[in-house]
Amino acid sequence: MKFYGDYHTHSRHSDGRQSVRDIAAAAQKKGVKEVAVTDHGPHVAVIGVKNEETYLKIKDEVRAINTDLDFDVTVFVGAEANIKGLQGELDVSGEIIAQLDLLIAGLHPYTKPSTVEDGWGIWVQNSLRHLGKGQQEKAKNNNTKATVEALYRHPEIDILSHPGLFFTVDMEETARACIKNEVLFEINCGHEHPHLSDIMIVNKLGADFIVNSDAHFPETVAQLTYGENIINRLGIEPDRVANYWDGGEDDDTIGQHRSTFAHHYRYVRRRQNTDYKLP
């Protein structure tokens, strides 16, 4: 199985150890046609962008790369927004989101909560989960609520990042929310997550997937082996994997070159605008 692009990477603008240009060069070297720079939102300690205007600076960098004839790869600009409350609040504003190519969202440790209640309900509650099954269930329920609320509240979300990685969620409820809101369920190769058993649950329910690297170093950009192995092992249909190569090959029947992810999620679903042109 080959993949058309990698749509989850981090640069030095957040916690990555690579420049935007490094990401583009690494993606080209690995043979993918597209890559997205998706730095962490600003309301997470240490690893977030300085402020959300940073994404506009990244867009300037990417614009120069996409017009550089030395690069045969298209670079997108997105954000990995942090879910910061039980009502699904994100730490990237709608004004900035509207200027991005794609939006990823997920739960992360050390995120500044929207309210004290949110801080207690998610981050404090998760720190108490070692006290017993009852506390674990409370944490899981709150994590699931925050995640599902985010998907319903923000139709701009394209990808749910590493579901259940730092904060356990109900996989069935989360998968159903992804299906309902046309959000891609990420198989994250950098963290090798979710585990096979969880992906089996999601697969049976019929959610669509995307395989991403979550790369923080050039060496791991487009390193998608974990996802490839999972897909092959479970026999997941290729048309349910958004960045599977088959969707991006030249199609003589329509006379154009397109990527499944970019075409469907940028052009058809989110933009809903027939005048929108891919970068």
- Per residue in 116-125, pLDDT (tens digit) is 999 999 999 9
pLDDT value of position 151: 97
Q: Which domain holds residue 146?
A: 5-270
275 in any annotated domain: no
pLDDT above 70 as % of the chain: 87
pTM of the model: 0.90
- The mean pLDDT value for 128-151 works out to 96
**Residue 244 in contact with residue 210, Cβ under 8 Å?**
no
97 in any annotated domain: yes
262 in any annotated domain: yes
pLDDT value of position 171: 98
Phi, psi of 102 (to 5 degrees): -155, 160
* pLDDT above 50 for 210: yes
pLDDT value of position 246: 60
**Higher pLDDT pick, 202 / 33:** 202
3-state secondary structure of 125: helix
182 in any annotated domain: yes
Average pLDDT over the chain, rounded to whole?
89
**CATH number for 160:** 3.20.20.140
> What band does 1 get if pLDDT is binned at 50, 70 and 90?
low
How many distinct structural domains can be found in the chain?
1
* pLDDT above 90 for 213: yes
The tens digit of pLDDT for each residue in 162-186 reads 999 999 999 999 999 999 999 999 9
62 in any annotated domain: yes
The tens digit of pLDDT for each residue in 233-273 reads 999 998 899 888 764 444 444 334 444 455 444 444 444 44
- Token look-up 């969620």 returns 169
278 in any annotated domain: no
54 in any annotated domain: yes
Nearest C-alpha neighbor of 263 from the set 244, 241, 248: 248
**Higher pLDDT pick, 262 / 218:** 218
The tens digit of pLDDT for each residue in 45-62 reads 999 999 999 999 999 999
Which neighbouring-strand residues pair with 40?
80
276 in any annotated domain: no
The tens digit of pLDDT for each residue in 248-258 reads 444 444 334 44
Nearest C-alpha neighbor of 88 from the set 50, 56, 122, 128: 122
3-state secondary structure of 41: coil
pLDDT value of position 196: 97
* pLDDT above 70 for 109: yes
- The mean pLDDT value for 76-93 works out to 97
> What band does 34 get if pLDDT is binned at 50, 70 and 90?
very high
Cα 29 from Cα 133, distance rounded (Å)? 47
Phi, psi of 220 (to 5 degrees): -105, 0
pLDDT value of position 252: 40
pLDDT above 90 as % of the chain: 82
